[in-house]
Amino acid sequence: MRARVLIRPKAGILDPQGQAVERALPALGFSGVSAVHVGRLVELDVDDATQLPSMCERLLANPLVEDYEIIENA
Amino acid sequence: MKFGVIRFPGTCDDVDAQLAAARVGEAELLWHGDRDLKGVDAVVVPGGFSYGDYLRAGAIARFAPVMESVIEFANDGGLVLGICNGFQILCEAGLLPGALLDNESLKFVFRQVQMDVVDRNTPFTRNCPPTLSIPVKHMSGRYYSPEPVQVVLRYAAGHNPNGSQDDIAGVVNIAGNVFGLMPHPEHAVDPLTGSEDGLTIFESIRAAVDERVRVA
């Protein structure tokens, strides 16, 4: 099964990458943009999708500072 | 006493760490793929870019075979020093609390920093003066922990290079035998490089190990 894992900085933790992108967009003339956050995308083929949460907890994300979202059958 | 300095693919400060440790004792390199710690008295996890820092700094290195032995060594009370990437690895491995995030500036920082030694009762700082001048060089050194931690080093006022929470530069675990810091003591052991303050950390470890041997 093709799966996709989205990893984001946890709410409340300073996200300087998101802030940098947010500041850059108006410089290009795009207005009305706020709450920009930059995370990671991991795509993988996996035989047993029930293992995905454990993969996220142990390696793909750092649960202390990141949230993850698993999208199955991506 | 003998220090063991771990070398992962992508480590770059292993030789400096070995040379620094060799000023106060014996020092031997340990390969990431080996489980044998060769009877060392203290382990140094040095700086660099282990496994290319893929995914997150330290995320892959924590699963190296040698780290299984380091975790066992630490759980038995052995002294473990993690410098920069080594600090990141120890956090990822769960030997130290917290995490190291990208610098607030999003820039690589490379400069000499002043620090206050806020706890001089650890095996790593017992021989340190009240303040240290040691270089930092990193991209992801912004320490963060949602829980209170045992802080050992804080950047002096105006010297926080990365936006670290509460100016934290170095922490120990609850047992006090695992220490991680972002600055590089191994690069400050010779007057030629402008400071010898880093040597006091290696001397502290030496003194702590010698004392343990005397007591035993």
**Residue B123 and residue B204 in contact, taking contact as beta carbons nearer than 8 Å:** yes
Query: Which stretches does DSSP call E strand in chain A?
Result: 2-9, 40-45, 66-71
Burial B81-90 (b: 16+ CB within 10 A, else e): bbbbbbbbbb
Across the interface, of A13, A16, A62, the residue whose CB is closest to B56 is: A62
Burial B2-37 (b: 16+ CB within 10 A, else e): ebbbbbbebbebbebbbebbeebbebebbebeeeeb
What is the 8-class DSSP label of residue B114?
Answer: E
Instruction: Determine whether the interchain pair A16/B105 forms a contact, defined as Cβ–Cβ distance below 8 Å.
Output: yes
Please name the fold of domain A2-71. Answer: Mth169; Chain: A , (3.30.1280)
Q: What is the largest CA-CA distance in chain B?
A: 48
Sign of CA dihedral B46, B51, B52, B56: negative
Name the strand (E) or helix (H) holding B64: none
Establish, for the pair of chains A and B, how many residue pairs have beta carbons separated by less than 8 Å.
32
Q: Is the pTM of this model over 0.90?
A: yes
**SS3 assignment, position B133:** strand
Q: Which of A10, A14, A15 to mutate to test the interface with B (most CBs of B within 10 A)?
A: A14
Residue type, A61: A
Report ipTM for this prediction: 0.87
Residue B168 clears pLDDT 90, i.e. is over it:
yes
- As a whole number of angstroms, the distance between CA A71 and CA B68 comes to 32
Radius of gyration of chain B (CA): 15
**Residue B117 and residue B132 in contact, taking contact as beta carbons nearer than 8 Å:** yes
| pLDDT band at B216; cut points 50, 70, 90 | confident
Task: Dig out the tokens for B214 from the structure.
Answer: 């005397």
pLDDT tens across B106-142, in order?
999 999 999 999 999 999 999 999 999 999 999 999 9
Radius of gyration of chain A (CA): 15
CATH of B2-215, one of 2.40.50.140, 3.40.50.880, 3.40.920.10, 3.40.50.1970: 3.40.50.880
| pLDDT band at B214; cut points 50, 70, 90 | confident
User: For residue B9, what pLDDT is reported?
Assistant: 96
Q: What is the largest CA-CA distance in chain A?
A: 46
Quick one: which of A18, A1, A7 has its CA closest to A41? Answer: A7
Query: Which sequence spans correspond to the domains of chain A?
Result: 2-71
Instruction: Determine whether the interchain pair A20/B106 forms a contact, defined as Cβ–Cβ distance below 8 Å.
Output: yes
Q: Pairing state of beta strands B168-172 and B178-181?
A: antiparallel
Task: Dig out the tokens for B67 from the structure.
Answer: 């780290």
* Chain B residues close to A40, C-beta within 8 Å: 55
B146 in A contact zone (CB under 8 Å) = yes
| pLDDT band at B215; cut points 50, 70, 90 | confident
